[in-house]
Amino acid sequence: MKIPIFILLFFSASLAVIASKPVKPYDELQRPQFHFSPEKNWMNDPNGLVYYKGEYHLFYQYNPFGKEWGFMHWGHAVSTDLVHWQNLPIALTPDNDSKDKELGTAWSGSGLVDENNLTGLQKGEEKTLLLFYTSKGMGQRLAYSNDKGRTWLKYEKNPLIPFDESDDARDPKVFWHSPSQQYVMVIYRRPNNNDKLRGVSFYTSKNLINWEFRNHVAGFFECPDLVELSVNRRPDDKKWVLFDGDGSYVIGLFDGEKFIAETGKLWSDYGKNYYATQTWSNIPPSDGRTIQIAWMKGGEYPDMPFCGQMTFPCELSLTKYVEGIKLTRKPVKEIALLHGKGEVWENKNLIPGIQKNLLHGLKGDCFHIIGTFNIKTCDSFGFMVRMDKEKNGGEITYTTSSNSLNCLGQATVVMPVNGEIKLDILVDRSSIEIFANDGKAVLTSTYTAKEKSEGIYLYNTGGELEIKKLEVYPMKSIWE
């Protein structure tokens, strides 16, 4: 039987259309599905994090011209739940209409609500939103919005702090310090171009326009942040936490002008892709949370239209342990909005070589895994995620002899508590974040997975492992 030529042509054309059908935006192979990333081009440091009238504003370093660093603008997105993001137009462009890769470009900074119109810039009923930023080679500058952040104007009398070629000042973080009734700016500086002096300087202001230098602390580099947190959630016991660009931190006292360290530098993340942390300003007291996000530095996204993703927003706390006070970090509760129908196991004993993979029925590229494990007699246990047909994937391992938690080649010590280890794991298409023992230790890592790598495997070696409770939720896309 001969098939008419027009039918053959029809089917050939149909197959060609199907084969050439482009992947829809935000559904590419390496595209994070529940971590923020730009639709296209380069992204790095989070900037200008501020909350106003039900919206969390996220700004970020952005190159609108390509997938490499340079020509910095401020990209902009907003969310009502810290999970689903709406992209808005670019907020800040280079000063003086600069076309240079660096000079005049909009480097990192912070955001704030001018609650009492101290700047005199408010023009209507909406409070003025302020962005403090470094203009490369042109000093510390101010931009403002009178329409809930939809459009932005540069302050006519910029710069607030003039450029000084001898100090490399950048990345201002501004916040209200209630005890001293003034605003504080913490900013990275390298006085006299001396690397031994590079660190954080403190400036103060009563009106958010005129700033006075107060003090300097050496030993820090880039993107500082300073926040006050309660210890064990006690309102009468608070400490200040000063963050460095790499997410390391120092706990101490702060009087509005001078920071006094009470610890050495501590690590808040033991992964390889955690950088430029920043917390949101103006979160209502009724919420009570301090929420932080960071850039996953060094991530690779081959053949993708974008380059860069953020960590998942996390709540910060200070917890007192036997060895001292430590920062703890855990995903914000809103993550539950993304949970698909999950599976739950309780009181399961696993013996190597007998039980099949407990998770054998699950497949996917995005999961939230929450588990409490009694290590009993096992030598090690862990997960293989994003596993392909050749059994390759991202390995997460806890080794009992060394009490070490390892993910993608990065490791940290996690001590059992009453013989138990708690793990809270976020698996996205191109990243893994692990929060161990209620966020006492965290590992943030990016990876590049192969297509159709959707297997997930739970294993233990050497002896018995008890699963006190294990929850595994497939994650919905924030872009649907």
* Least trusted range by pLDDT, from 64-78, 254-268, 380-394, 462-476: 380-394
What pLDDT does residue 23 have? 76
What pLDDT does residue 438 have? 97
What are the structural domain ranges in the chain?
A: 41-333, 339-474
Residue-wise pLDDT for 50-98, tens only, equals: 999 999 999 999 999 999 999 999 999 999 999 999 999 999 999 999 9
For 31-79, where are the E strands, in sequence order? 41-52, 55-63, 73-79
This prediction has a pTM of 0.94
Q: Is it the case that residue 14 has pLDDT exceeding 60?
A: no
Task: Name the percent of the chain lying above pLDDT 90.
Answer: 90
What pLDDT does residue 18 have? 44
Q: How far is CA 361 from the centre of its chain?
A: 31
Residue-wise pLDDT for 123-143, tens only, equals: 999 999 999 999 999 999 999
Distance CA 130, CA 7 (A): 63
Q: 353 vs 41, which has greater pLDDT?
A: 41
Catalytic residues: 45
Q: Is it the case that residue 354 has pLDDT exceeding 80?
A: no
Q: Which candidate, 37, 112, 104, 50, places its Cα nearest to that of 73? A: 104
Residue-wise pLDDT for 308-341, tens only, equals: 999 999 999 999 999 999 999 999 999 999 999 9
Q: Is it the case that residue 477 has pLDDT exceeding 60?
A: yes
Q: What class, spelled out in words, does domain 41-333 have in CATH?
A: mainly beta
* Least trusted range by pLDDT, from 63-67, 177-181, 207-211, 391-395: 391-395
What pLDDT does residue 1 have? 44
**Band of pLDDT at residue 357, cut at 50, 70 and 90:** confident
Count of helices and strands (H, E) across the chain: 1, 32
Q: Which candidate, 163, 440, 429, 173, places its Cα nearest to that of 306? A: 429
Q: Which residue has the tokens 């660009």?
A: 245
Residue partners of 389: CB distance under 8 A and separation at least 6: 452
Phi and psi for 439 in degrees, rounded to 5?
A: 85, 15
Question: Three-class SS of residue 267?
Answer: coil
Residue-wise pLDDT for 413-466, tens only, equals: 999 999 999 999 999 999 999 999 999 999 999 999 888 899 999 999 999 999
Domain 339-474: give its CATH architecture: Sandwich (2.60)
> How far, CA to CA in Å, does 18 sit from each of 2, 14, 15, 198, 364?
25, 6, 5, 57, 24
Q: Is it the case that residue 20 has pLDDT exceeding 50?
A: no
Q: Is it the case that residue 478 has pLDDT exceeding 80?
A: yes
What pLDDT does residue 380 have? 97
**Band of pLDDT at residue 25, cut at 50, 70 and 90:** confident
**Beta partners for residue 367, in sequence order:** 427, 474
Tell me, what DSSP letter sits at residue 475? B
Residues 35-43 have a mean pLDDT of 98
What pLDDT does residue 355 have? 65
